[in-house]
Amino acid sequence: MSKEEYPITPAVRFLRENNIAFVPFVYRYEEHGGTHQFSEAYHVPEHGVIKTLVFETDQKKPLLVLMHGDNEVSTKQLARLLNVKQIMPCDANTATKHTGYQFGGTSPFGTRRPLPLYVEKTILELPKIYINGGKRGFIVEMDPHELGRVFPLTEVSVAIGS
Which pTM was predicted? 0.94
Identify the pLDDT of residue 87.
97
CATH at 60? 3.90.960.10
**Residues 111, 99 contacting (CB under 8 angstroms):** yes
**Which residues neighbour 43 within 8 Å (Cβ) at sequence distance 6 or greater?**
none
8-state DSSP, 90: P
What domain range is 112 assigned to?
Answer: 10-161
Q: Is residue 5 part of a domain?
A: no
17-31 pLDDT tens trace: 999 999 999 998 888
What amino acid occupies position 130? Answer: Y
77-128 pLDDT tens trace: 999 999 999 999 999 999 999 999 999 999 999 999 999 999 999 999 999 9
∠ CA 104-108-114 to the nearest 5 degrees?
Answer: 125
Q: Is residue 155 part of a domain?
A: yes
Q: Is 91 helix (H, G, I), strand (E, B) or coil?
A: coil
What amino acid occupies position 151? Answer: F
118-157 pLDDT tens trace: 999 999 999 999 999 999 999 999 999 999 999 999 999 9
Q: Is residue 3 part of a domain?
A: no
8-state DSSP, 126: S
Domain count along the chain: 1
Q: Is residue 2 part of a domain?
A: no
If we measure between CA atoms, which residue out of 82, 110, 80, 81 comes closest to residue 98? 110
* CA distance linking residue 103 with residue 121, whole number of Å: 24
**Residues 126, 4 contacting (CB under 8 angstroms):** no
Cβ-based neighbour number of residue 128 at 10 Å: 13
Identify the pLDDT of residue 2.
44
Identify the pLDDT of residue 1.
43
